[in-house]
Amino acid sequence: MGGGLSPEQRRRVRWTTVLLTLTAVGIYVAFIVSSVLKAQH
Amino acid sequence: MSSTQHTHDHAFHHVSAAQHDEHGPATGIMRWLTTTNHKDIGTMYLVFSLIMFLTGGSMALVIRAELFQPGMQLVDPGFFNTMTTVHALIMVFGAVMPATVGLANWMIPLQIGAPDMALPRMNNFSFWLLVAAFALLILSLFMPGGGPASGWTLYPPLVLQTGDALPLAIFAIHLAGASSIMGSINIIVTIMNLRAPGMSLLKMPLFVWTWLITAYLLIAVMPVFAGAVTMLLTDHFFHTTFFAAAGGGDPVLYQHIFWFFGHPEVYIMILPAFGIISEIIPTFARKPLFGYDSMVYATASIAFLSFIVWGHHMFTVGMPLAGEMFFMLSTMLIAVPTGVKVFNWTATLWKGSLSFEPPMLFALAFLFLFTIGGFSGLMMAIAPVDFQYQDTYFIVAHFHYVLVPGAVFAIMGGVYYWLPKWTGHMYDMKLAKVHFWLSTIFVNVLFFPQHFLGLAGMPRRIPDYSTQFTDWNMVSSIGGFGFGLSQLLFVYVIWKCVKGGAPATAKVWDGARTHGLEWTVPSPAPYHTFEEAPVVE
């Protein structure tokens, strides 16, 4: 499928994927860290 | 819409595309293991979902058989609890969600004029991860101590009493969650980057819109659930005390985190269903969808509100009056955008040239029966009243009305709507209508009496009950077996259609006039479509 994409589309696909992945991982880590901090108090 | 005006040009163009697709799919098992084609993966998701639907449904029948009369009849209480737990987990994560993902895989590229999903290899990986997840979950039933039996909410401290099944179930949830997140990333990236030239956001079909919003919801809340079950795991095996009061933790914290995920999860299941209904009704009313823009804004509003209402699941846990007021009013607010949607569907029907093929029948049943579920939801939003409903069969009736004649009927309607496009054959309309009527009658026989049981005080998640609840439980169980058996007809109609039938045209339905480009390709849709992007005027 990737063969049909323009370089600009490839760049946008890559960056959107990275951004969304970091968002998901960030939310996961943030919830655990906030619970750890709450538990320490 | 202008996008459907050049139907025939595209149809001819894609006939030639089909002809040079002779190299098409691989053969044998390797086709399905290694495929990166959105249509193959969509089919696999749909078949998987159907298998899970029948598996989870069989567990529901164990529950209904046990509840047919008071006293312990067939299973022991521990196994009964396992059935309620695993039935819910399978239906939510294994049946409804994968079915809508399957429809998304099949239809989103076709509707927006994309050649495939943007990340095809990740698409394959997310499907097979889901299979692994549910293999683990089902295997957990055979672990020493039995399967998870704490209810699908997995509340501590109860869930921490689970035996060896706990790590297996939590790992399964992690894998299913990772699969959902990857699927969502794929959907967002595809919609944001691969739309045909000229297809602006507000020209997209409603199914694509609802899935775009659903995918954002999934990315926002799935990691929260993953975090919650990770903490359960560390509480169980590494002696942390996130949710253990004895160590300074708080079991109520888990409930807050769970429902911060759990309420949007309800919308994750129902928003794509709204999208399907918004595709079907205009086709069979032969009118454009009334209030397209307001449908989009209503969907976004529902998604936003879903983040700020989680406390309504926890009124009886105890919270400050201000908290109860906030969650009560914010929950009631959801009725506004939902009302906009129901109004718009009804207005689309108004003075339409209606016909009642199976997809339309399911859409109309959805409109009435989902609204019943919505209204009982509004009743439960009233905090002081909810104290009476909490943990009774009224709740069971409510969410099953939302999810079965709501989400599941929309999915069945969607399958009947797009099946000719997938297979190239029309299906047996008469049998499909019989399936519709049997399902609609039995689903009401199954779930409506549960309102009465709940109002009379019958608690949920119990294998035995007081004799005053016997009659309505018998009626409900008869409805359950009737509904379950009716679904075998659904499987047969699909099987028969895959095997053959009258050839379907590219447009399939004479009233098909939605925003999507799926009707511009021949039926069955060629293995590769839109290798050159179509232009939407």
CATH code of the domain in which B442 resides: 1.20.210.10
Rounded Cα distance between B225 and B218, Å, is: 10
Share of chain B above pLDDT 70, in %: 95
Rounded Cα distance between B207 and B105, Å, is: 12
Q: Quote the mean pLDDT of chain B.
A: 93
Q: Is residue B197 part of a domain?
A: yes
Q: Which residue has the tokens 């008869």?
A: B478
Q: Which pLDDT belongs to residue B6?
A: 42
Q: Is residue B504 part of a domain?
A: yes
* B110 phi, psi to nearest 5 deg: -65, -35
Q: Which residue has the tokens 């709501």?
A: B406
Model confidence band, residue B515 (pLDDT cutoffs 50, 70, 90):
low
Answer yes or no: B58 catalytic: no
3-state secondary structure (DSSP) of residue B129: helix
Neighbours of B8 (CB within 10 A): 11
3-state secondary structure (DSSP) of residue B392: strand
CB B60 within 8 A of CB B442: no
Indicate the range of B49-53, B384-388, B527-531 predicted with least confidence: B527-531
CB B161 within 8 A of CB B76: no
Residue numbers of the domain that contains B259: 34-520
CB B436 within 8 A of CB B443: no
Neighbours of B503 (CB within 10 A): 11
Chain B residue at shortest CA distance from A14: B189
pLDDT reading at B5 higher than 50: no
Q: Is residue B5 part of a domain?
A: no
Interface test with A, best of B110, B189, B234 (most A CBs within 10 A): B189
Q: Is residue B8 part of a domain?
A: no
B249: nearest CB among A5, A32, A39: A39
3-state secondary structure (DSSP) of residue B457: coil
State mean pLDDT over B24-44. 89
Cβ contact B223–A16 (<8 Å): no
Q: Which residues neighbour B517 within 8 Å (Cβ) at sequence distance 6 or greater?
A: B3, B4, B10, B110, B111, B112, B113, B196, B199, B530, B534, B536
B257: nearest CB among A20, A21, A31: A31
Task: Give residue-wise pLDDT tens across range B389-438.
Answer: 999 999 999 999 999 999 999 999 999 999 999 999 999 999 999 999 99
Task: Give residue-wise pLDDT tens across range B342-352.
Answer: 999 999 999 99
Q: Is residue B88 part of a domain?
A: yes
- Domain extents for chain A? 9-41
Q: Which residue has the tokens 């779930």?
A: B447
Number of domains in chain B: 1
Indicate the range of B26-35, B302-311, B379-388, B401-410 predicted with least confidence: B26-35
Beta-carbon contacts below 8 Å between A and B = 71
Which of these is catalytic: B13, B287, B313, B515? Answer: B313
Q: Is residue B47 part of a domain?
A: yes
Query: Whose CA is closest to B279, among B511, B10, B37?
Result: B511
ipTM: 0.91
CB B397 within 8 A of CB B447: yes
**What tokens appear for B95 in the block?**
């049946």
pLDDT reading at B235 higher than 70: yes
Model confidence band, residue B4 (pLDDT cutoffs 50, 70, 90):
very low
Rounded Cα distance between B419 and B306, Å, is: 32
